[in-house]
Structure 1
Amino acid sequence: MPDARTSLFRIAFSALDHFGANKALAKHARGLGVILTLHHVRPFSGGAFAPNRHLEIEPTFLDLALTRARNAGFDFVTLDEALSRVRAGVSPRPFLHLTFDDGYRDVRDHALPILRRHGAPATLYIASDFADGHARLWWLELEAGLARADRVEVDLGDGRKSVSCRTVDEKANAFKTILRALRQGPEERLRAETLKIAEAGGVDASAFARDLCMRWDELAEVGADPLVEIGAHTVSHPMLATHPPETARAEMAGSWQAIAERLGAAPAHFAYPVGDLAAAGDREYALAAELGFASAVTTRPGHLTQAHAQTPTALPRVSLNGHFQTRAAVDAYLSGAPFALMAAAKRVLGR
């Protein structure tokens, strides 16, 4: 069962579609273009407990999204072309660029054929530890550990607690509660506790990167496609803003160096892991510029406007969310209406 926030968004997308608000607002709400965020593209094989469902969409939905965008008059452009249009402050038609975080193998297997069919360029942001096959995908550790347990012991920052996770609802609540609490503390504790939960359930935490992420030879093959550009995504996928500046710099520069050495081309573009305001802020934006990245993307939602020419290392993106795989959601994303309405609400509320 979807949570209240997911249900609210579904209602909002349906309402915007039903009342024709997407078309009515697009002229005023739509920016010059949009960068889409994706992670996994694959047929869904999960069950009722799927707390990371938002990070994956089905191939048919990606095809639908690109078809709707093309029919709405969007140009499919490279990231460099998107930046050029932003700097110029004008685009003959709205533009769209696809980005895929982490470098999952299913992007090659399921997304790339669709990109080729539509002629849609994309940037794949790679965390170098993922490509080496020894990264920690802690969000999957937590999901897998809870899936196998009826109860887990976890330190949320105020001593160890016992959390029940017998039913699907309990598991979903436990995931949200544990993740929310651990994200408020040091990332070292988050990673330590998710690993303990996984190992207590007999989960091989080291298998996630090996099984899901492309190795360097696979990335070289994918990167040879003229539609694909490889970007940087740190070394170990940390939430940069929660770490000292020297750690953030090393993570960002280290991924640049690894990609340049292993793939023979220095990455021009960067994506902040997690990418919200708690994970990346002004310090990280300045570091990306200092390290020479032409752009860096967040996960803060919104369309691109001429104003973003002044902040190319703090660009917004719009997530193709696995919870909202409908035509109404795609049309809302492309219109810019939800983001304009959210901005208006914040102004009214003074936030």
Structure 2
Amino acid sequence: MDTRHKAIAAAFRLMAATGADRWSRGFAQGAGVILTLHHVRPAAPRAFAPNALLEITPEFLDVALRLIRSEGHDLVSLDEALDHLSRPKRGRFFVALTFDDGYRDNVEQAWPVLAKHGAPWTMFVTPGFADRTARLWWLELEEAIRALPRIELDLPDGRFAMPSVTDAEKARAFRKLYWRLRKGPEAILLAAISDLATRAGIDPAALVERECLPWETLRALVGAPGVTIGAHTMTHPMLAKHDEAFARGEIADSRARLEAELAVPIRHFAYPVGDPTSAGPREFAQTKEAGFASAVTTRPGHLWPGHAAHPHALPRISLNGLHQNEAALRMLLSGLPFWLRNGGRRLDIG
């Protein structure tokens, strides 16, 4: 855990110790919250794990669901969440669970826990992952840096060169290169990571095959109690980095493909990456135009009645794998960290 996340963990502990999760509810909690999850799988301790924030254990998911139930919160589907926003139930706070990308462990590890608690959930699927044609580039980058003793790239904004022998050096190289590439065009990011993966002997398609669900399993999920399938673009691009026609196609085509493959209406959408550099007002308008009932971002925040008028720009809160403890969870559900972060502003739709 880096310095930033250590500070966040300390803040969560301090807030929980003062009972802030209780006394802040009246002004910070809102009507409900949508939680973002990615991987749910057994812990595999390793020193170099830059994507560990994207995974929680089945045991922590069980703890989270028990706490949500014990606090008297309602576990709801996305359709029910939209209904609660438009017709608020006084004194009832709701939680909706969403899983991005379509990972195998969502079915193998998360679903049994969800079923035990009777928790509805939405899986946002990228057809390109089911086809084995899209790329898990963040995982490619991790695996390449794990394999290579030095990272060297000639990038348009200058040369990148860092040692990558020790776990600490690998973590530093990943962090520096990841954020440098994220700032630029996605084509450069994909080309650079492809170069590293080739040098490291990483097969991108094999990574997707290992991690992501195939079409036959996705079809078997259709109609299962509590399960909703949503769209997550065709190939998982950061939409705002692309031209309007490309973004519109990724949004609309993902819905059409999923409906053709699964034979069910696809009503909900999640923006890949989902921060303001990846999805903004243009994309919010495009998902509405494509006919989705809702679209979720990763802009951190709780849901307020005002979001009923902006269902294509909904915030979510990540269940971060670096903070798998009850104190952190209580603070996330309280809304206080995001009320403070957003300066009391309830809507972030710009």
* TM-score, normalised via structure 2 length: 0.96
**C-alpha separation between the residues in 1 aligned to 2:264 and 2:141?**
35
Of 150-159 and 72-81, deviating more is 150-159
* RMSD, aligned CA: 1.4
SS at match of 1:206: helix
**C-alpha separation between the residues in 2 aligned to 1:9 and 1:262?**
42
Alignment partner, residue 203 of structure 1? 202
**C-alpha separation between the residues in 2 aligned to 1:252 and 1:261?**
15
Amino acid at match of 1:141: E
Structure 1 gaps, min length 5: none
Alignment partner, residue 94 of structure 2? 95
Of 219-228 and 111-120, deviating more is 219-228
**C-alpha separation between the residues in 2 aligned to 1:18 and 1:46?**
28
**C-alpha separation between the residues in 1 aligned to 2:286 and 2:226?**
28
Contact 2:37 2:98 in 1 (8 A): yes
Of 291-300 and 203-212, deviating more is 203-212
**C-alpha separation between the residues in 1 aligned to 2:211 and 2:275?**
24
Contact 1:241 1:281 in 2 (8 A): yes
Q: Residues 39-118 of structure 1 correspond to what in structure 2 (within 5 A)?
A: 39-118=38-117
| CA drift at 1:161 | 3.0
Alignment partner, residue 153 of structure 1? 152
Alignment partner, residue 130 of structure 1? 129
| CA drift at 1:337 | 1.3
**C-alpha separation between the residues in 1 aligned to 2:140 and 2:45?**
15
Q: Residues 1-351 of structure 1 correspond to what in structure 2 (within 5 A)?
A: 2-344=1-343
| CA drift at 1:46 | 4.8
Contact 2:39 2:106 in 1 (8 A): yes
**C-alpha separation between the residues in 2 aligned to 1:223 and 1:14?**
40
**1:30-60: per-residue Cα shift (whole Å, max 9, x none)?**
1111110000000122510000000000000
Contact 1:134 1:210 in 2 (8 A): no
Contact 2:339 2:345 in 1 (8 A): no
| CA drift at 1:265 | 1.2
**1:218-241: per-residue Cα shift (whole Å, max 9, x none)?**
011123312100000000000000
Q: 1:70 to 1:132 in 2, by over 3 A?
A: same
SS at match of 2:255: helix
Amino acid at match of 2:298: T
Amino acid at match of 1:39: H
**C-alpha separation between the residues in 2 aligned to 1:70 and 1:323?**
23
**C-alpha separation between the residues in 1 aligned to 2:89 and 2:289?**
27
| CA drift at 1:341 | 1.8
Amino acid at match of 2:112: P
**C-alpha separation between the residues in 1 aligned to 2:77 and 2:2?**
36
SS at match of 2:80: helix
**C-alpha separation between the residues in 2 aligned to 1:269 and 1:40?**
20
| CA drift at 1:217 | 0.9
**C-alpha separation between the residues in 2 aligned to 1:46 and 1:204?**
24
SS at match of 2:124: strand
Amino acid at match of 1:150: P
**C-alpha separation between the residues in 2 aligned to 1:263 and 1:40?**
23
| CA drift at 1:346 | 8.5
**C-alpha separation between the residues in 2 aligned to 1:251 and 1:92?**
39
| CA drift at 1:160 | 3.4
How many residues end up aligned between the 2 structures? 346
SS at match of 1:155: strand
Of 43-52 and 3-12, deviating more is 43-52
Contact 1:301 1:339 in 2 (8 A): yes
**C-alpha separation between the residues in 2 aligned to 1:4 and 1:248?**
36
**C-alpha separation between the residues in 2 aligned to 1:155 and 1:245?**
29
Contact 1:89 1:305 in 2 (8 A): no
Contact 2:74 2:95 in 1 (8 A): yes
SS at match of 1:287: helix
Q: Percent identity between the aligned chains?
A: 48
Contact 2:222 2:264 in 1 (8 A): no
| CA drift at 1:11 | 0.4
| CA drift at 1:163 | 1.9
Amino acid at match of 2:81: A
| CA drift at 1:92 | 4.5
Contact 1:38 1:99 in 2 (8 A): yes
